[in-house]
Amino acid sequence: MKKQYAAVWFVLPATIIILLLVIYPMVYSLFVSFHSYNIAISQKMTFIGIENFKNIFLDGRFWNSIINTVILVVVGCALQLTLGLAIALLLNQKLRSEAAIKVLILLPMLMAPVVVAQMWKIMLQPNIGCVNYFLQLLHVTGQEIEWLTKSRLAIFSLLLVDLWQWTPFVTIVTLAGLYSMPTSPLEAARVDGASGFQIFRYVSLPLLKPILIVVVLIRSIDIYRLLEAVVVMTEGGPGFSTETVSFYVFSVGFKYFNIGYAAALSYFISIILSLVVGFFINSLNREMRGAL
């Protein structure tokens, strides 16, 4: 009992900061979400019950942003996972100047998303950008591709940028997983005469699975809140085609100043996220038990 008492003192300062800066805003947000509070009209707050939450279900623009976000999360995670894993396997052999290679590969994920978005925006520009130039040089296309202003392409460009920045994360974590893998199952498989691919498919991959689930979890959460690239590269356009959930909630809050509704939306998307995360953690638990 005395022991626990001491721990409280150590945890207290951090807890106070967190309570002040996270819990208080969240409680306030919850309070506001039951009110009509549009500061562009007036400073008055009127209680309207769950009206804001009801409106969410009728808000086509919000559901459109959910669809865009789901596309980004699912396709983004799948691509990043596949590529990241492939690159990890590529690096998982005796290589010259391995350290230098790792440093180079890590660079993108250290950079500010705003900076990355600006860089790619310049490169993807039609007429003056280098991406179209190289594609034309390689005879992939003769046209000026409008990366950021054609609806299906624009969301693909966001995917591309995210892929560039975050595949290294998948690679590095997977690589660490590969290094720390127990040797005996691999040896056993080799003795049984399994091919490289078979070893990967039936031995390494199952062993990596818990790590990969965590990686996917982290990436999903991050893509779910994707905002910077949208703000810098497309402003949500063309049409509504690159509006993500974060971007839409940001607009409702800081462009239309419909604070009550924005608060309700934030709660709603937080709930969706917790459900998804809960699902992942469940499956992770199952995996861990299976692995052990």
C-alpha dihedral, 86 to 112 to 284 to 190, nearest 10°? 20
**What is the spatial distance between Cα 253 and Cα 236, in angstroms, rounded to a whole number?**
15
Which of 15, 46, 82, 141 forms a contact with other proteins (CB under 8 A)?
15
- Does 188 bind other proteins (CB under 8 A)? Our answer is no
79 contacts: CB under 8 Å, gap ≥ 6: 159, 163, 167
Which of 233, 232, 268 is CA-nearest to residue 249? 268
* The CA-based dihedral angle spanning residues 32, 35, 40, 42, taken in that order and rounded to the nearest 10 degrees: -110
The piece of 44-52, 74-82, 161-169 that touches other proteins (CB under 8 A) is 161-169
Interface residue with other proteins, options 78, 114, 188, 275 (CB under 8 A): 114
Residue of the chain from 254, 282, 286, 290 that contacts other proteins (CB under 8 A):
254
Looking at the Cβ atoms of 71 and 146, the one nearer to other proteins is 146
Candidates 72, 215, 223, 230: give the one binding other proteins (CB under 8 A): 215
Give min distance, CB of 218 to other proteins, in A.
Answer: 6
106 in Cβ contact with 84 (< 8 Å): no
Among residues 74, 101, 275, 291, the one that binds other proteins under rule CB under 8 A: 101
Query: Applying CB under 8 A, which part among 44-52, 74-82, 106-114 lies near other proteins?
Result: 106-114
Residue 218 neighbours by CB under 8 Å, 6+ apart: 169
What is d(CA 75, CA 159) in angstroms, rounded to the nearest whole number? 8
Binding mask 55-94 for other proteins (x = CB under 8 A): --------------------------------x-xxxxxx
Distance CA 123, CA 278 (A): 39
Omega prior to 113 cis, within 30 of 0 = no
CB of 93 to other proteins, least distance (A): 5
In the set 67, 103, 140, 188, which binds other proteins (CB under 8 A)? 103
Q: Is 97 in the site for other proteins (CB under 8 A)?
A: no
Question: Which residue blocks in 92-112 are alpha helix, DSSP H?
Answer: 98-110
CB of 8 to other proteins, least distance (A): 7
* Identified binder of other proteins from the candidate list 78, 122, 188, 291, rule CB under 8 A: 122
Site for other proteins in 37-56 (CB under 8 A): 38-43
**Contact status: 139 vs other proteins (CB under 8 A):** no
- The binder of other proteins chosen from 62, 162, 168, 223 (CB under 8 A): 168
Q: Rounded to an integer, what distance in angstroms lies between the CA atom of residue 77 and that of residue 18?
A: 30
By CB under 8 A, residue 267 contacts other proteins: yes
Among 51, 70, 227, 283, the residue binding other proteins under the rule CB under 8 A is 227
Distances (CA, A) of 141 to 225, 238, 241: 33, 22, 24
